[in-house]
Structure 1
Amino acid sequence: MAAVASCGSASTGSAVATASKSNVTSFQRRGPRASGTNDSGPRLVSIAGTRPSVRNGQLLVSTGLPALDQLLGGGLAIGTVLLIEEDKYNIYSPLLFKCFLAEGIVNGHTLLVASAKEDPANILQELPAPLLDDNSKKEFDEDVYNHKTPESNIKMKIAWRYQLLPKMEIGPVSSRFGHYYDASKRIPQELIEASNWHGFFLPEKVSSTLKVEPCSLTPGYIKLLQFIQNIISEEGFDGSNPQKKQRNVLRIGIQNLGSPLWGDDICCAENVSNSHSLTKFLYVLRGLLRTSLSACIITMPTHLIQNKAIIARVTNLSDIVIGLESFIGSERETNTLYKDYHGLIHIRQIPRLNNLICDESDVKDLAFKLKRKLFTIEVREFLCFSLQS
């Protein structure tokens, strides 16, 4: 018995010594590996420019405005629709639309830009330039004050935001969630050329002589839904065709939806024969988003829609609804209480994802202002001052 015990202890000791030399523990997990494809447990998708929500576990993408991400509970959830009610003169809503697209280019996401007014290629050329991180700014300051070699003088003459870009840009520029953008500058052309984007320009897709039956989708809406469905299916965002490279997100941007340019007449009269065309489009669109790795932002001139029932249905078919109210042309433009702001932002609807209640912010008095470079959202402080006085 003693011999057997000593033999067993010797074999065990040699096994431990061998395991310690190879830095591998003797206790191995049985079954498929955690990094394998046969993992039975659900794993969170790891995609550049995304993060899970701490409240409901939903995968989030940034809207391009960190302040707006905070109001929405951390960002825009994958599979949801963000509806932006355009301001009266359509000055500030295009900036939010472009920040959403620029955030996708910075993170290497695929873009789908749809418009009936402007060519998507021209929209991409007008995207704001991303601001660099603090570390990059420190490196730039060091290069400016470093005069030891002639190379440093050459670097000073080159724009600092172009120095940090690689010559062959393939992956995302930054892994940070949410960036700030300089509205006074345009995004580098190198980033646009390296991005993967698809454009839908309505005048090139639909003929003006095509007729449509009453109470059905307009030709523009039908063509756009088919275009979105083809992109989602062909590039594997719905899982039908596995993506060749690393998994990616599709960012969909639709501009001025519901306007007469899309062939819709809801902005022309209160009682129209084709009043359900827009709501049917949103219903089908949300079904496509729910089954794919995609997120959508829509700008809509709701102030032109005369039938309030249509606005209510559009709101119910959207996950998030944000309204922009500009001070231009109103009495508030000359009011001293509003002198530091350019308009108000109204959070009309927040989604209820994986829970029965929504994460609605307690702050209701929100205002925005466009500085020389940044678009900021702040809490209106003048209400407190007026109450105290």
Structure 2
Amino acid sequence: MSFRKRNVGLSGTAKSDSDTTAATKDRTSLPGVRPSPIDGRPTTSTGTASLDSLLAGHSGLVLGSSLLIEESGTTDYAGALLRFYAAEGLLQGHHVHVIALPEQWGRALPGVVGDSEKKEKTSESAEKMKIAWRYESLGQFGASSYTRDTPLSRPTQRNPSGDNQAIPTLFCHTFDLTKRLVHPAAAKLDFLPLSGNPRESPFGPILARLNAAIAKSSSSTVHRIIIPSLLSPALYPSHSSNPQFVLQFFHSIRAILAAYRQQVTAVSSIPLSLYPRSSGLVRWVELLHDGVLELSPFPHSAEADIQPARGPGGTIEEQPQGLLQVHRVPVLQERGSGNATSENDWTFTLSRRKFTIKPFNLPPVEGDTEAQQASGSDLKAKKADVEF
């Protein structure tokens, strides 16, 4: 009669769990990559801190996922988000692949805000504060985890000299659209042109070059794929709008994301003025992306009618320039990993230095004096609580 111990776990399972944990730690130690606060998946920044906060609570774009940005009208707010995404990748040492754009686009990427400007901004805010410096430092430490100018301790860059000391890096930089980015010496930026042969898919050579570049790179290299203004006549040939070519292309992109789940992310944009969401082609393109956002800019007349609002400190906030709707966010497990946003409508504002996303709140009506007096009394109460 044989006997064996019960309640003993299998050694193979424990080993696989430890290997998975070690692989996750090695992946999140790369520059520009940190673990998700929800489930520990490696995430990277889109270059826009307020956009990172909307992506299912992961505070960034999870590696192996894709994002589609839709925009109506003749504006180019989606193009600014793509520039931030590309500039962030170059600063983090990632390999950036740009599709259907000329090389001049890479020279117009926004520059990083200098340390002197950050110090001036910090000194101005310090003069306005009327509390002790100890409490002020506590307030800065308790800020949101995806603040741009706060260096994070977890995403570190390995010291090339071989020492055990780690070099802390920023997860999300602050960019200035009026400046031009100075590309690092080891920057990897590729521009993949479309094929002009009308008898074949214009995306065929692009997929071949993408697969070759990712396969030849080391496992520690993170790749970013940028697909701007999808099917726009200014960039794409007329036969590229064939559904057979477009859907095959995005199926192949999803295959690349699945094969290199720990290395690749992709961000695309599409003009809704040319291809509305009611068309079947756009619906299929949305289904082939993990996240879908829609930008609806305000008309100039409506934007001028909106009165500037005041923040908690009495400072005048910038006027919103449009609405942002979150149609889908990356939910990366069958059990629903990731939290969907509670707000349905958001507003966005593009200034010289940042792209800000806030919940959509209507200001008080001009004739509603009670609401205006209530907001003014709340502001005075907050000031009275601070001053002592």
Q: Normalising by the residue count of structure 1, what TM-score does the alignment of the two structures yield?
A: 0.67
Q: 1:350 corresponds to which residue? A: 329
Q: 1:286 corresponds to which residue? A: 254
Preserved CA contact (<8 Å) 1:56 1:354: no
Structure 1 pair 133–257 and aligned structure 2 pair: CA distance change class (3 A): same
Cα deviations by residue, 1:143-198 (Å, 9 ceiling, x for unpaired): xxxxxxxxxxxxxxxxxxxxxxxxxxx99997121122111211124x2x431222
2:284 maps to a residue whose letter is R
Cα deviations by residue, 1:195-242 (Å, 9 ceiling, x for unpaired): 12222133xxx2x3x232xxxxx5321111111111111114xxxxxx
Asked if 1:367 is matched to 2:361, the reply is: no
Structure 1 pair 316–41 and aligned structure 2 pair: CA distance change class (3 A): closer
Structure 1: any 5+ residue segments left out of the alignment? 1-38, 142-169, 213-217, 237-242, 268-273
Q: 2:223 corresponds to which residue? A: 250
Alignment of 1:42-81 (within 5 A): 42-43=21-22, 44=24, 45=27, 46-72=29-55, 73=57, 74-81=59-66
Partners of 2:335 and 2:271 lie apart in 1 by 30
**Secondary structure at 2:273's aligned position in 1?**
helix
Supply the RMSD in Å over aligned alpha carbons.
Answer: 3.5
Q: 1:18 corresponds to which residue? A: none
Partners of 1:332 and 1:311 lie apart in 2 by 28
Q: 1:314 corresponds to which residue? A: 285
Cα distance, 1:106 vs. partner? 1.3
Cα distance, 1:294 vs. partner? 0.6
When the two structures are aligned, how many residues end up with a matched partner? 297
Q: 1:35 corresponds to which residue? A: none
Cα distance, 1:265 vs. partner? 5.2
Partners of 2:257 and 2:20 lie apart in 1 by 24
Higher Cα radius of gyration: 1
Asked if 1:298 is matched to 2:298, the reply is: no
Cα deviations by residue, 1:72-121 (Å, 9 ceiling, x for unpaired): 12111111111111342142111100000111111111111112xx41x2
Asked if 1:231 is matched to 2:213, the reply is: yes
Cα deviations by residue, 1:337-362 (Å, 9 ceiling, x for unpaired): 68811111111111211243352111
Partners of 1:96 and 1:49 lie apart in 2 by 17
Cα distance, 1:259 vs. partner? 2.5
1:94 maps to a residue whose letter is G
Structure 1 pair 288–184 and aligned structure 2 pair: CA distance change class (3 A): same
Preserved CA contact (<8 Å) 1:113 1:253: yes
Structure 1 pair 134–291 and aligned structure 2 pair: CA distance change class (3 A): farther
**Secondary structure at 1:220's aligned position in 2?**
coil
Percent of residue pairs identical:
26
2:81 maps to a residue whose letter is L
Q: Normalising by the residue count of structure 2, what TM-score does the alignment of the two structures yield?
A: 0.67
Cα deviations by residue, 1:129-149 (Å, 9 ceiling, x for unpaired): 1225699738x99xxxxxxxx
Among candidates 188, 195, 202, match of residue 196 of structure 1: 188
Preserved CA contact (<8 Å) 2:50 2:355: no
Partners of 1:41 and 1:372 lie apart in 2 by 42
Structure 2: any 5+ residue segments left out of the alignment? 1-17, 124-159, 309-317, 373-388
Q: 2:175 corresponds to which residue? A: 181
Cα distance, 1:383 vs. partner? 5.6
Asked if 1:124 is matched to 2:103, the reply is: no
